[in-house]
Structure 1
Amino acid sequence: MQKRSGFTLIQLTIVIALLAILTAVGVPNFLNWLPKYRLKSAARDLYSNLQLAKMSAIKANKNCRVKYYKNPDRYTVDLLNKTIRLSDYKSGITFQGPNNQTFAVAAITFNSRGSSNSGYAYLTNSGNTAYYRVGPLTSGAIKLQKWGGGTSWK
């Protein structure tokens, strides 16, 4: 007798059915996760660019300004000639907080000592599923916080 190798039609059908079930469960979860991930990425990049602006001001012994613009949503770091468009992150990332705030001040200026004016920029995605605020304190320390609901920032 010859030994037959391979898959039967029943085995192949079961594998395809399992893949269909896993896809049906996984895709909606992924689609809910993606906008939040992109928002978090935009907030972290803003945090990093504020740190970079602060260090550039200290290094160059000059003021470095980070300026926010609403239409279209973007910000610039003048000493680095850098413009970041929030639309590049996709998922409808915009300057907006939980109470319709955008940013406390139109520009943050770091001086040669690393201190700055204070003020937060607020970020959300198109579904308003999460909010972040990013900004320096007058001491120059930069904070990145996520909205915890109610009145709390974490």
Structure 2
Amino acid sequence: MLNRLMKKKGGFTLIELMIVVAIIGILAAIAIPNFIRFQAKSKQSEAKTNLKAIFTAQKAYFGEKDKYVSDFKVVGFDPEPGNRYTYGIAACASVAQAVNARTYTAGCIGQDQARFTQVPTGGPALTPGITGTCPNCSFNASATGNVDNDPEGDTWAITSIATVSTNLTGTCGVDSTSVSGGEPGNAYNDVSCP
């Protein structure tokens, strides 16, 4: 009798194993896309943080000199190496640049080509640059980068004036149709667009 109990060792049947594999597959099908989306959303924080830094630097410069400038060196903006976004306070295209070849004076800083070689397509939410005659002038800054490795670029903008109505309707992933002064607005959300 003891022999018979010892021989009957428990195990899983093929059906039980297939059910477990199916459950794991369903969980992976739900979890992996959500994980990728949340990872891409966290990458957008670089653009928001750096655009707010540009805004703060420009406002501080304006407080001293009564004007805005399109030279990143003058206002003291220099993003860390490894930036995935191209930043502009002048009209510029999305480019990848070596960190030591950044064009601060032109009002454009390209994404770090050592880490991000695929240049995204897509234009800025607002035309970057300085408008008006200072001290009654304003500025717009933009950021375009790729957060999910497709050709389209995640596009953000910030402006110095209280509220700027922008034509963002009909664009995929728009979070609003107007951008408030000092708050980054998303013109093309690369996370929520296919």
Q: TM-score, normalised by structure 2?
A: 0.41
Q: TM-score, normalised by structure 1?
A: 0.48
Rg (Cα) greater in structure: 2
| Larger fraction in helix | 1
- Which protein has greater RCO, CA pairs closer than 8 Å, 6+ apart? 1
